[in-house]
Amino acid sequence: MSSVFTKIIAGDLPGHFVWKDEQAVAFMTIQPTRPGHVLVVPRAEVDHWDDLDPELVSHLFLVSQKISHALKKAYPARRVGLMVAGLEVPHTHIHLVPLDSMADLSLENARHAQGDELAEAAQRIRAELQALGHAEAAQL
């Protein structure tokens, strides 16, 4: 059975994307802990991140690093936190969260975000990615 992320990637469910390439996508989560909370997701539907091919793991972390640079500009914070939890959806995903405290990374603090808020956040992040020269954001 397809995960909700597979359905978002396929366009069967709406998503506010900030990155697309042949191996990975990144989009806004509908349950952000902070504004700017992004998920980096492989196109391959693999439940456990430690089952991914090493090359794909490397790619996901490089994409996460590039998006983190844009997040720092779009949502200034002390750090951009990175977390791989995997209990919410059985499809590997990396959480990127602008944070000022460890509580900002807690999924227990997540709230439901509306489409307009997600669209505006995605546009802010895409603009920063484009300013950094990343064509993977320009094509969206």
Q: Which CATH architecture fits 4-138?
A: 2-Layer Sandwich (3.30)
Structure tokens at 139: 């094509």
The pLDDT mean for the chain works out to 93
Give the model's pLDDT for residue 55. 97
Q: How confident is the model at residue 140 (pLDDT cuts 50, 70, 90)?
A: low
Give the model's pLDDT for residue 138. 63
Percentage of the chain beyond pLDDT 70 is 97
Query: Using an 8 Å Cβ cutoff, are 49 and 84 in contact?
Result: yes
Give the model's pLDDT for residue 86. 82
Give the model's pLDDT for residue 87. 85
Indicate the domain borders of the chain: 4-138
In which residue are the tokens 């002390």 written?
Answer: 78
**120 DSSP β-pair partners:** none
Give the model's pLDDT for residue 81. 96
Give the model's pLDDT for residue 139. 64
C-alpha torsion sign, points 140, 112, 108, 11: negative
Q: What is the pLDDT of residues 21-58, one digit of tens each?
A: 999 999 999 999 999 999 999 999 999 999 999 999 99
Give the model's pLDDT for residue 108. 86
With 90 as the cut, is the pLDDT of residue 17 above it? Answer: yes
In which residue are the tokens 């990155």 written?
Answer: 19
* Mean pLDDT, residues 105-128: 90
* Mean pLDDT, residues 99-122: 90
Query: Using an 8 Å Cβ cutoff, are 71 and 124 in contact?
Result: no
* Mean pLDDT, residues 74-97: 94
